[in-house]
Structure 1
Amino acid sequence: MKTKLHFLLLLLLLAPALPAGERLRLATTTSTDNTGLLAAINAVFTERTGIAVDVIAVGTGKALKLGRNCDVDAVLVHAPEAEKAFVEAGYGIDRLAVMHNDFVIVGPKGDPAGVRRAKTAAEALGKIARAQVPFVSRGDDSGTHKKEKQLWRQAGIEPQGAWYYSIGQGMGAALQVAEEKQAYVLTDRGTWLAMQDKLPDLTVVFEGDPALFNPYHLIAVNPKRCPNADFETAMQYAAFLTGPVGQKLIANFKVGGRPLFHPDVLP
């Protein structure tokens, strides 16, 4: 199956560019958009193929809902369990690994909850809850929010109270609120690296737990479920993103010499 898929991707990558005016509708997470990565990748893709990419940057939950509602041709998201359910329900085809980074917990430099002493991410959140120190949650059903809820469950805590701010917004906004309130927040490393110069009072206080691994996958919307989905164009984009050019663009996209994401296909 994998060999067949790779052959299809190769054929699509080598195929002639589609006519000018062709468009791909892509629902993706705020992290891929806020970092500037997609703008860089899509500019090269459009130059090579003539296909414009219309990006809808929302949380993963909303991105998958757009796929289920047949409003997009493909999704680029980072919530493995929700992605698998999307494919198993027949809404998506060919869930392809594209890249990864990790989540980190960012907070005040003084670390009032003592998060740096934690051995796991769940223990870190437990320290924040017990100290009743402000914590900002995206609260938007994004991949980051799903990971946060998973960690709270592992900690055996239902976060609530005046210290817990659920804002229903994207990663960039959550980091800005954390800066204003001197609060802790769970963020993907890519968005943190892209924004850290604008957040002088925050720093990474916890990282490195394997539970914080953060993979991104591209999924084409199933044309059998959504007849208006442009599967061919979605697969041409997939071939580019997972091919040598797309993977090198991901590897070379850096802030201050540090990569924001790591390619999954590039050797």
Structure 2
Amino acid sequence: MPHSSRHYNPNHEGHKTDHSLQHHHHVPKTIPHDVPGSGGIKVPDGLYVGAGISTAAAGLAPQAVYNGGYTGATDIYIRIANGGAGQSGLIGAWADAFIQYSVGKGHAPFLIAWYLGDTTESLGLIEAGEVDIAVTYNEAAELQSINSGASSKRVYGFRDHFLIVGPKSNPAGLDGSTDTALQMCNKIVSSGNKDVVTPPDPSIRPPTRFLSRYDKSATNIKESQLFITIGQVPWALAYSKWYHQYPQFPLQALKAASVLDEYTLTDRGTLLSSPPSVTSALVIYKAGGDEQPDDILLNPAHVLLGAKKLEAKYTSICDQFMDWVVMKDGGQKVIREFVKNGEVLYSEAPSS
């Protein structure tokens, strides 16, 4: 099994860096059309990103490496696994700010690497000791990582928010002003089943379909929770034909839903990080908020520290990062000021 490396060579194939600190992330190769397991719905050429997209398949090469503006640094002191917040640029913003903070405290410049992985993959990498820190979105899985001894510490990083989005044509008739998230799922199931039996005239409206990331990500787990709560398991054999299985990362999945006129569950960070060509075709029908801590569409992100023993210099800086992330003038300041398309993407962690 390939391992992640502490020494960074920007000329090594597979490694990506961003010397301009604008967080340009690597986009893996594309393959044509759809693939088995995608729910039988044809996907346009180039939309399905499937080659080299997982950290395991990429030989554990980082998706991006950040230097805080210190171009002479060569050693990776912190390896962070995450999906959506990495794609939005937040992990890079945290990395650069923490490096600058540490250098200001007298530490020599160093690098922080981001490894692309959903919640399940990120927790797997931390258990294997291939990353030092994971930013994840599923409480049950995080607590299991702590209880099993794979992770030694867990802190609240920030709040993201799930969104139910879909086409402007709204074939399922969702009512954002009165429907709850569960009622919307019921409508999607009912309308999707009807459209399978009697397909609508495509010149009038598209059929009701729901795009699932179907990848064990926190988004996939949340979507599954919503459907199970209303007594539905559309992914079970024989799977519901309106249920589109599309196992990709957040930005790619949202683009597919936009192109294909499908409903999907996404998050605010992903939506605001997507271009107008994607978002202009979508409507937000329901959004999570911070007002109710038990909001079913609230998407809390926690930062986990791996328990694997490291060299003292790495252990020290990782411990300091965990403390800095929750500081009001540290990681939380980055959260408050992290803006895309004129809007703040995430909310600070709640005060304990």
Q: Which residue of 2 is the match for residue 105 of structure 1?
A: 164
Mapped partners of 2:275, 2:344: distance in 1: 14
**Counterpart residue identity of residue 319, structure 2:** M
Is residue 256 of structure 2 the alignment partner of residue 177 of structure 1? yes
Mapped to 1, the partners of 2:332 and 2:150 lie a distance apart of 26
Q: Distance in 1 between matches of 2:244 and 2:121?
A: 20
What amino acid sits opposite 1:235 in the alignment? D
User: For residues 120-148 of structure 1, what are the alpha-carbon distances to aligned partners after superposition, in whole Å with 9 as ceiling and x for unaligned?
Assistant: 21221121111111111111111111111
Which segments of 5 or more consecutive residues in structure 2 lack a partner in the other structure? 1-72, 103-108, 193-207, 290-294
Q: Which residue of 1 aligns with 2:129?
A: 70
Residues 1:55 and 2:130 aligned together: no
2:276 maps to: 197
Contact kept, 8 Å, 2:273 with 2:341, in 1: the verdict is no
Query: Does residue 1:259 correspond to 2:344, yes or no?
Result: yes
3-state DSSP of counterpart to 2:330: helix
TM-score using structure 1 length: 0.85
Where do 4+ consecutive residues of structure 1 move more than 4 Å? 226-230
Change (3 A) 1:198 1:38: farther
2:237 paired with 1:237? no
Give the SS at the match of 1:103. strand
CA shift in 2, pair 1:203/1:251, >3 Å: same
CA contact (8 A) 1:98 1:265 kept: no
CA RMSD of aligned residues (A): 2.1
CA shift in 2, pair 1:119/1:208, >3 Å: farther
2:305 maps to which residue?
220
Using CA pairs below 8 Å that are at least 6 residues apart, which structure has the higher relative contact order?
Answer: 1
TM-score, scaled to structure 2: 0.66
Residues 64-87 of structure 1 show CA distances to partners (whole Å, capped at 9, x for unaligned) of 011111111111111111111111
2:92 to 16, 25, 39: 39
Shift of residue 112, structure 1, vs aligned partner: 1.0
Contact 1:60 1:142 in 2 (8 A): yes
The one-letter code sitting in structure 2 at the alignment partner of 1:146 is: I
In the TM superposition, residue 261 of structure 1 has moved relative to its aligned partner by 0.6
Report deviation, 1:196.
5.3
Bigger fraction of residues in strand: 1
Other structure's SS at 2:252 match = helix
Shift of 1:22: 4.5
How many residue pairs match? The answer is 246
The 1-side partners of 2:96 and 2:288 are apart by: 33
Aligned to 1:92: 151
1:166 aligns with 2:245: yes
Decide whether the 8 Å contact of 2:159 with 2:349 is kept in 1. Answer: yes
Corresponding position: 1:130 with 2:185 = no
* Alignment-derived partner of residue 179 in structure 2: 119
Give the CA deviation at 1:119. 2.9
CA deviation digits over 1:216-241, x for unaligned, max 9?
11111113xx5579432321211222
Letter of the 2:89 counterpart? G
